[in-house]
Structure 1
Amino acid sequence: MYAAFKKTFSKDHLDLVLQTSEDHETRIVEFPGRWMTQDELQELREALISIASKTLARGSLTYGVFKADGSGLRDTVITLIRDRYSGQPIAFNALAVMEVAHGSATATVLHLGLVMVDPGQRSRGLSWVLYGLTCLLFFLRNQLRPFWISNVTQVPAIVGMVAETFSAVYPQPDDRSRRSIEHLLLAREIMANHRHVFGVGAEAEFDEACFVIGNAYTGGSDDLKKSFDVAQKHRDEKYNSFCKDSLDYERGDDFLQIGRMDIFASKDYLMKSVPRRSVLAIVAAAFFISLQRVLLPIIYWFDTSRPWRRLRARNT
């Protein structure tokens, strides 16, 4: 594990391998389309396609990481889980990093993106890795500064997971859910300029009152459309009822959820979502990432013996 962390220190991007359970190894790769060789990119795409093909017809998805030209991997963070013994890819999450106009500034929004799991590996406790782990590591790399997240889904289990994992999530069924002006401005900007990230076509309509995208499955994500009966349910019935009452599954509606990753969300994630047997590995990853982002720049600054790209000491 130390060698894997050490390898990341010389890079401007995150490329981290963790043993997240006795049977699973997880690799988190930031912006692979910007630095991987063509052979490495092809190998990564084939791993993602092999997982997707277990659920959908090969080639049925045409947006995001499945774009033939590979452009969808330039602004994406891939979380890829493999079986430790066979090396077989079994699940992935593709998180898109969006730079969204927010007032007079720009906000970084981490879109939770497409999650796919080999049907034979479902109910194996992978959700905490696929949804929260990468967000936690980005929060640490961001020096504990909060950032916005977005999510587009019609699946009750995911609606509930997002509502329970992140802070200030809208929409959700609880009374504590409030649509702020920040939620609204971010949603407008995302729907105006970033629909391609989650495969929603221009003809889809957005209801600003309830954050429902009507007729959402027309922009390359068509084969992800589900009926309510097929969509995975949450253990808390309130999320199932919320989706059933708010979404038209025959038309193909989605929620656009917007929330924040902050210190409260990260604490709850570590205490409630991460299995106890995996906490040590996550703490180790957090330590090394914090070291890279906070302590190493100080060391580099005082080292005049070699350049460190943008961060280097000045000879006087």
Structure 2
Amino acid sequence: MARLFGTDGVRGVANKELTCQMAFQLGQAAVAFKGRTILIGKDTRLSGDMLESAVAAGIMSMGGTALLAGIIPTPAIALLTRELHCDGGIVISASHNPPEYNGIKIFDGQGFKLPDSVEDEIEAFMARGGAAADELPRGDEVGVAVPVEDACELYIQHAVQSVEKQGIDFKGLKVALDTGHGASCMTSAEALRRLGADVTVINDDYCGTDINVQCGSTHLEPLRALVAECGADVGIAHDGDADRVMLMDSEGNEIDGDMVEAVCAIDLKQRGLLAGDTAVSTVMANLGLTHALRDAGINLIQTKVGDRYVLEAMREGGYV
């Protein structure tokens, strides 16, 4: 049988490849392997409500508490799982994929993705059909679902304060923003405005079937047109769950991710904040990144493809 978990959780066409039964069992698994209090967030897909209900039911069937954060970016769930002292977090999203797809990814209590070994244990749990019926709690031992009213606000405050603490604001900066009819429509424009930016935003509404469609980080043409139209200094485009960002300069040129990492690493080194004078990327990084960092006195560690492997190397070496 093919492995259930891909590089970023379980994904497929909702209600066909990713079924409510699978979502229910993943909710059960979250409690079985992580603990009783699980935070759930989702993007704007139509199937998000259905899968959220199934995941929450699985959590409650194990006697757990499902904290419902609603529509919110993936990084916010990683943050709030830790800040709200949850045992784990779940994001219901298929990231940059078309609207008919959805996905489920699980975080541990520190907001980190699960290692392969734990995912393998969860797969075995699901292959057995989830928790045995005679082991489930009854009566007053079943779980509950509780809404988290201010989840997006907590994330916005964290993002703004993280920048302000470095003595930085965005006053005088004109920003063109494409939220891709996705989760960042709840947070990004507000955070940028609080930092002083003049923000013009497109695709910041949603109907559940327009997420990532000819917009956002995978389709930069609308952002390029917006940058030109409003004379922006920078363009920003997110994917559906806002764990991905594509940047554009004032001329409409895409700023590659390798370039972003080089700028961040060199800036941190100049400020004495680059741990071990080392940056971490994957083997997909352009050779130009290696040369640019080497010329700046920075070592580059390259990992297997997948952000979890980058993160593992960062945690092992204490890199930033």
Name the TM tier (shorter chain). Answer: under 0.3
TM-score by length of 1: 0.28
